[in-house]
Chains A and B, each alone.
Chain A
């Protein structure tokens, strides 16, 4: 399994992976999970936040995308502070330039069988924390079913709700933030048994956002 960190402008190979990602997302979030507002005739899940601000973390196996996630810097337009703003009652733990919003986490449906933690999901958890550290983020926000609070805590992450849960489609969902730290990376690696770094050694250079912290 291989991690790809993809931002636009992507090269031809990465564009092909992104295309797989959009089709898989449609299958998973629209067709299987029933998020009908995302339904599109071309069977690709692409929304307003799949723009130049987005970073896609994709896991591939023999060239096939088997899991993915999207990260959007919180000082750029993001899902948390627009669509899901009603879930946020508390304050972010730090300046928005120090955080990213984690969305569209998924594992390929064919890879979710058996009573085990899918290695794809384990790899994504590690990849997200590793990427966050590499980018200098100090926190990651997300909105999900409240079972994510259990899953995240079980890999040794500190997670703080940003508001009280709301009921969506009969199930409680919550907005929360995860503390980014070396310890959090060490814990998730230990719990998932993935001890090696996943990010390519010669990854893309860190982004400096116009209104973000300027590094000397």
Chain B
């Protein structure tokens, strides 16, 4: 399975972290962070989707508001393309705070890295920043890391988004929908069992559950109501 496919199948942020770490190791990266970028003055912590950073550095970076003076984070606003940390422009002579962040990062063994800006809908800005040497990367690898980072950011945003709100109307589960669709196509319980690999007993149980929650009186009625309310699409 490709890493991109793998990421999309993970259901926890921790699992995404592990898939990423495994993939990045082969490119010489060992740490990374996935985060949104806050407006000036705001705390970055609620925006962090996943931190694979050294915890001491993470503490210092977030507590001191480094995100607002870090040239790498700032440069994300001016480009859509990935860049090496060393390419993030800043005035080494006169910009003391920026210099401090870069120098301190170096003290934590973070000499160089690869930064992928993420532009979300509505102009919100995110970032995937990988810690490690970048000189050995060719164009193809850079593109692959770009794609991988976008998938990871998207998946994490999906997984960390607001939890499912209680629906206004009682709805059926995806499994029940699938079974009702087969029923609507004229399949019997044992035929649906064969198609889905479940037992006929489980099929019947799913139908009864859907029926109970929809307040319908029999299987035909359940299918008709499910179609009428567009709970299933044929």
Residues of A that sit less than 8 Å from B by CB: 112, 114-118, 121, 130, 133-134, 136, 145-147, 149-156, 158-161, 164-165, 170-172, 174, 182-183, 185-187, 190-191, 193, 195, 197, 199
Contacts and interface: CB of A to CB of B under 8 A. Distances in A.
Given A121-B121, A147-B118, A172-B143, A153 B81 contact: no
Nearest to A183: B174
A118 B154 CA distance: 17
B151 interface: yes
A149 B158 contact: no
A56 to B, nearest CB: 20
A112 B121 CA distance: 9
A50 B211 CA distance: 44
Nearest to B144: A164
B161 interface: yes
A154 B122 contact: no
Interface in B133-163: 140, 143, 146-147, 150-151, 153-155, 157-158, 161
B233 A182 contact: yes
A126 B143 CA distance: 29
B233 A153 contact: no
Chain B interface helix/strand/loop/mixed: helix
A-B complex: 7 closest residue pairs judged by Cβ atoms: A153-B154, A150-B154, A150-B150, A154-B157, A133-B233, A154-B154, A197-B230
Interface residues of B, number: 35
A150 B49 CA distance: 14
Listed residue (B118, B121, B164, B234) with the most chain A CB atoms within 10 angstroms of its CB:
B121
23 contacts: A115-B122, A115-B123, A121-B121, A133-B233, A134-B233, A146-B146, A147-B118, A150-B150, A151-B121, A152-B154, A153-B151, A153-B154, A154-B120, A155-B158, A161-B4, A171-B80, A171-B81, A172-B143, A174-B147, A182-B232, A193-B165, A195-B168, A197-B230
A203 B5 CA distance: 35
B124 interface: yes
Given A115-B122, A118-B121, A182-B177, A153 B147 contact: no
Nearest to A149: B150
B208 interface: no
A58 B164 CA distance: 28
A39 B81 CA distance: 27
Listed residue (B5, B154, B174) with the most chain A CB atoms within 10 angstroms of its CB:
B154
A113 to B, nearest CB: 8
Contacts of B4: 160-161
B151 A114 contact: no
A156 B118 contact: no
Interface string B98-136: 000000000000000000001111111000000000000
Given A147-B118, A161-B4, 5 more contacts: A117-B121, A118-B121, A147-B150, A149-B151, A149-B154
Contacts of A164: 140, 143
Contacts of B174: 182-183, 186
